[in-house]
Amino acid sequence: MLARLRNPWTDHRAERTLGAVSLLVCLFVILMVAFVAVRAWPTFEHNGLSWLGPGGSLKVQFENMLDAPTHPPASAYHLRAWPIIYGTLLITSLAVLLALPLAVLSAIFIVELAPTRLRRTMIRVVRLLASVPSVIWGLLGILVLVPFVGNHLITNSERISLEGTVQLTGAGLAVAVVLLTLMISPIMIALICDALGTVPGAWREGAAALGVNRLRAIRAVTLRAVRPAIVAATVLATARALGEAIMISMVSGSVFFSPRPSDGVAFLFEPVRTLASTIVDFREGLGGAPALNSTLYAFALLLLFSVFVLSLAGYLVKLPLRKYQVRG
């Protein structure tokens, strides 16, 4: 058997083996989605799609689920999850909007402008940052950013103005967005750097021969060539941000509250909760609370569906950009 594995594989054998592995992966993904959908079905059965909207106190609804018996009545499944859906969209969109220009500009500097030795060092550092566990970012947030925001950025007037609504402790939207931006930026930078490295040097030389300055050549030639990679990096980073749970749970305040832009600057410091962090926060209720069990699976199914839609949208956006793509 070992001797047979050591022998060089024929193209037909390699094709069949890789095809079988791909089919197994696809089957595993389908089974996972089906398992989550079956567990989430009671929530959809009792609420339809109305659970995606606003209405009532989400805190009270979760308490009712926790207190429900083993065979809960239909009322125990009542859910209106808009506050945490809104929190998920808010944190993810702000983090991606901040990370995208940061990643593009950093990648341009690393590949196009930095000296060779500095470029190699920075690429290694970026890849190292991309592999840092999320719990480390959360720990830095709790020990450094949250106390700093709570002690130096939040004013007494802001605390008093929201005293009857929510407590401002420093853990909230701003800290979560900053840390999430720092988490997803290295992923985007690494992907864009790899794409910039594949742009033929002759393209840059041709632009220079036409009298185009370096920065304009980067904008008109290099960035145009790697736009599909920028889209792919954005999609991957957004999916990563949507599913982030541990760090968000640690630094966001973990309160069922929808930050209100009408509150002014205090809006940035208000606590928030996301779909993924809610699953982590209430994971202990998965065993003995069927209504809560189904609700958390519904959140997981919504996240899976969001990632699918995001991937499909990224594919459709990249279609008209294929003519600019670098082909190796």
pLDDT at residue 289 tops 90: no
Q: How far is CA 310 from CA 117, 164, 208, in A?
A: 37, 38, 38
Rounded to the nearest angstrom, the gap between the alpha carbon of residue 275 and the centroid of all alpha carbons in its chain is: 11
**If you average pLDDT over residues 168-192, what whole number do you get?**
93
In the predicted structure, residue 225 carries a pLDDT above the cut 60 = yes
Amino acid at 310: L
Q: Whose CA is closest to 275, among 41, 32, 58, 74? A: 58
Q: State mean pLDDT over 62-67.
A: 87
For residue 77, what are the CA distances in angstroms to 100, 256, 276? 39, 17, 19
- What pTM did the predictor assign? 0.88
Q: Tell me what the mean pLDDT of segment 219-245 comes to.
A: 87
Whether pLDDT at 42 is above 60: yes
pLDDT at 91 over 60: yes
pLDDT at 323: 58
pLDDT band at 7 (very low <50, low <70, confident <90, very high): low
pLDDT surpasses 90 at 181: yes
Q: What is the mean pLDDT of residues 155-175?
A: 88
d(CA 10, CA 86) in angstroms, rounded, equals 53
Q: Which residue has the higher pLDDT, 58 or 217?
A: 58
Least confident of 157-166, 227-236, 315-324: 315-324
Q: Residue 45 above 50 pLDDT?
A: yes
**pLDDT category of residue 286 using cuts at 50, 70 and 90:** low
Q: Could you give the CA distance from residue 196 to residue 110 in angstroms, rounded to a whole number?
A: 10
Q: Give me the pLDDT at residue 328, please.
A: 43
Rounded CA-CA distance 203/209 in Å is 10
**pLDDT tops 60 at residue 120:** yes
Report residue 101's pLDDT band, with 50, 70 and 90 as the boundaries: very high
Q: How far apart are CA 183 and CA 187, in angstroms?
A: 8
CA dist., res. 249 & res. 283, Å (int): 12
- From the list 56, 28, 77, the residue with the least C-alpha distance to 293 is 77
Question: In the chain, how long is the greatest CA-to-CA distance?
Answer: 77
At 170, is the secondary structure helix, strand, or coil? Answer: coil
* Whether 138 contacts 246, CB under 8 Å: yes
pLDDT at 204 over 90: no
272 phi, psi to nearest 5 deg: -155, 160
Question: Does the pLDDT of residue 313 top 90, yes or no?
Answer: no
Q: Determine whether 14 is exposed, middle or buried from the number of CB atoms within 10 Å of its CB (0-12, 13-18, 19+).
A: exposed
258, 87 in Cβ contact below 8 A?
A: yes
- In the chain, alpha helices (H): 2-6, 11-47, 58-67, 82-108, 116-130, 134-140, 146-148, 156-161, 173-197, 201-209, 214-217, 223-225, 227-243, 246-251, 275-281, 290-318
Give yes or no for a contact between 293 and 317, defined as CB atoms under 8 angstroms apart: no
Mean pLDDT over 172-183 rounds to 94
